[in-house]
A and B are shown apart, each in its own frame.
Chain A
Amino acid sequence: MPLSTASNFAKPDDAFRAIVEAHRGLSEKDSADLDAALVLILSNHIGDIGVLREAITLAKRRMIDAGQQQQQQQQ
């Protein structure tokens, strides 16, 4: 099964909010620790190495795109 990028939550705002609230009041370090645990837990739940790799590729591409945008703005 390929990575699903369709909107899967009935209420996407609730999902986003839940993650944001989990980070509220945390230091940068604690936030990073939380993210690490969350990534591992969700990866295992997905349990499909192909989907995980696709997700990593998508996440990395967003980072590269963002980096290029920033560079263009600076020029």
Chain B
Amino acid sequence: MVQANPGQGASHAKVQFGYHRHGDQDRAAPAEHPVVVVGAGPVGLSLAIDLAQRGHAVVVVDDADRIGEGSRAICFSKRSLDYWDRLGVGDRMVDKGVVWNVGRIFHGPSELYQFNLLPEPGHKRPAFINLQQFYAEAYLVDRVTQLPAISLRWRNKVTALEQRNDRAVLTIETPDGPYRLSAQYVIACDGARSSLRQMVGAGFSGKVFEDQFLIADVKMTAEFPTERWFWFDPPFHAGRSALLHRQPDDVWRIDLQLTPDCDPAEEKKPENVRPRIARMLGHDKFDFEWISLYKFQCRRMERFIHGRVIFAGDSAHQVSPFGARGANSGLEDAENLSWKLDRVLRGTSPSGLLETYHIERSAAADENIRESTRSTDFMAPVSAQEARLRKAVLALAKETEFGKRMVNGGRLSVPSVYETPLSTADADAWQGGPCPGTSMLDAPLKAADGRHLHLTDAFNAEGRRFTLLSFANSEDVDAPEEVGVIRIGGSDGLDDAEGFAGKRYGAAAGTSYLLRPDGYVAARFRHPTRADIAAAVARASGLN
């Protein structure tokens, strides 16, 4: 088992892996593989696990042999945790992570307002956990080692790409020299500075924010509560913004906004960072884990699919960090892509299904970019009048509800809603419940043997395929064989003892939701026939 090793200081690897020569390197002709994933970050590893669980052989290559360096995600959303549950790593993430629900916004020395993200009871997973990215990666690597279908190859750097009609051929540099791999599909999860993106000749344009931010992880035993604290114009950092957030192991993430004209090399020196943070914390009893300084960019590729190369995560889109939309949106990419790729590789769906990955996830990227751009603009107004409007909002927030709601210290990631050709439009009348194109909602249930479980557990148990969520009561639903069924109510169904499921899904006897393999609602019906369900499955599979 991989042991992540915190507390070694900023420049040390958290987990070190070895390079191993693979048989593919001895072959004269490129070895043929269905899928090669480039990049062993959270997105690439999750995608590889998902595909392996669906029965596909996956090669993962990464140019490094360690994890733990570079700028890192810390906030993982409920949606990501639900996904990691499906990949068999959810419990480890949540056990190690810090659960938080409360955020506070300050202006100057005083608190403007607080928010609570814990919306309602009856969900398996919390709204967010904070967890250092290196732990997430280490747990994912552990899971990978349990799956013989995945060949994970460190110090394998892609140096060239050749696109053919039905495959892509990669040239890979290793400590033993170069070799070539042929793949039906290459998934580029190689980060914001993606080399694959350059190889396909795609642009990556968008908005660069002038203000620089200092990101520091400090270790200390603090009496701060487990909350997200955000300051506008704090006494310890006049005229700028600051963020304080707790991570496991007594580590705290601190973001400090700096001026656009500061000198990165100077600002990054611990002797210059220390007094700033000491002013923020009111003491200097802390150690640095990691310091980084950067400018934010909000941008995306125009197309996420280039021939046989498909981009996911930061390689395809980049956002500012206020809103936890980076890693979480990358994981949504992985989840969206893997079931579609599975069907295309099996030949049960045409390759056109992959185009809906681009449609759905590029729209999600636009939404994430819009939200994070607004947050960043609010934190760093670009003109005197913008600054004036922000000042007015902050002043009004002290005494008005509408002012509070206009204060933008980051809008936290929620699952995207897809306008997609895979959805079947509602034909029945609905009051409430998730409409087609939205993510499934969780609810607590009870099995016939008295065991407590959640709807997300029941979905995982059905094998993450097309699944009909059926509020059976007196009626039996006739579902096609390939479709899993979760029955709630009736003599043999799961017991919705607390009534959450029925309420959240606006259900009556006969109500049925068709869930896609990624847990999104494809269609819903009041009293479906077998033909209704089959047609909706066909549509969601890209078959018409």
Q: Which residues of B contact A48 (CB under 8 A)?
A: none
Q: Which residues of B contact A32 (CB under 8 A)?
A: 385, 388
In the complex, the answer to whether B396 meets A40 with C-beta atoms within 8 Å is yes
In the complex, the answer to whether A36 meets B402 with C-beta atoms within 8 Å is no
Q: Which of B475-499 contact A (CB under 8 A)?
A: none
Mask, A9-53, CB within 8 Å of B = 1, is 000000000000000000000001100110111001000000000
Size category of the A interface is under 10
Provide the bound-state CA to CA distance between A37 and B406, in Å. 12
Determine the main DSSP class of B at the interface with A.
helix
Q: Which residues of A contact B388 (CB under 8 A)?
A: 32-33, 36
Q: How many interface contacts (CB-CB < 8 Å) are there between A and B?
A: 24
Q: Is B395 in contact with chain A by the CB < 8 A criterion? A: yes
In the complex, the answer to whether A37 meets B392 with C-beta atoms within 8 Å is yes
A50 to chain B, nearest CB (A): 18
A36 to chain B, nearest CB (A): 4
Provide the bound-state CA to CA distance between A36 and B395, in Å. 11
Q: Is B303 in contact with chain A by the CB < 8 A criterion? A: no
Mask, B378-409, CB within 8 Å of A = 1, is 00000001001101110110001011001000
Closest to A45 in B: B402
Provide the bound-state CA to CA distance between A39 and B390, in Å. 12
Q: Which residues of B contact A37 (CB under 8 A)?
A: 392, 395-396
Closest to A29 in B: B388
In the complex, the answer to whether A40 meets B391 with C-beta atoms within 8 Å is no
Q: Which residues of A contact B396 (CB under 8 A)?
A: 37, 40-41
Provide the bound-state CA to CA distance between A37 and B390, in Å. 9
Q: Which residues of B contact A41 (CB under 8 A)?
A: 396, 400
Given A37-B395, A37-B396, does the pair A44, B402 have CB atoms closer than 8 Å? Answer: yes
Provide the bound-state CA to CA distance between A41 and B402, in Å. 9
Provide the bound-state CA to CA distance between A40 and B405, in Å. 12
Q: Which residues of A contact B392 (CB under 8 A)?
A: 33, 36-37, 40
Provide the bound-state CA to CA distance between A32 and B385, in Å. 8
Provide the bound-state CA to CA distance between A11 and B385, in Å. 31
B240 to chain A, nearest CB (A): 20
Q: Which of B211-270 contact A (CB under 8 A)?
A: none
* B391, B400, B403: the one within 8 Å of A36 (CB): B391
Provide the bound-state CA to CA distance between A33 and B395, in Å. 11
Q: Which residues of A contact B395 (CB under 8 A)?
A: 37
Q: Which residues of A contact B391 (CB under 8 A)?
A: 33, 36
Provide the bound-state CA to CA distance between A41 and B393, in Å. 9
Provide the bound-state CA to CA distance between A41 and B403, in Å. 9
A51 to chain B, nearest CB (A): 16
| A residues lining the B interface (CB < 8 Å) | 32-33, 36-37, 39-41, 44
Extra pairs beyond A39-B389, A40-B392, A44-B400 (12, CB < 8 Å): A33-B392, A36-B385, A36-B391, A36-B392, A37-B396, A40-B389, A40-B393, A40-B403, A40-B406, A41-B396, A41-B400, A44-B402
Sorted nearest first, the 7 A-B pairs with minimum C-beta distance are: A36-B392, A37-B392, A44-B402, A36-B388, A36-B389, A40-B392, A32-B388
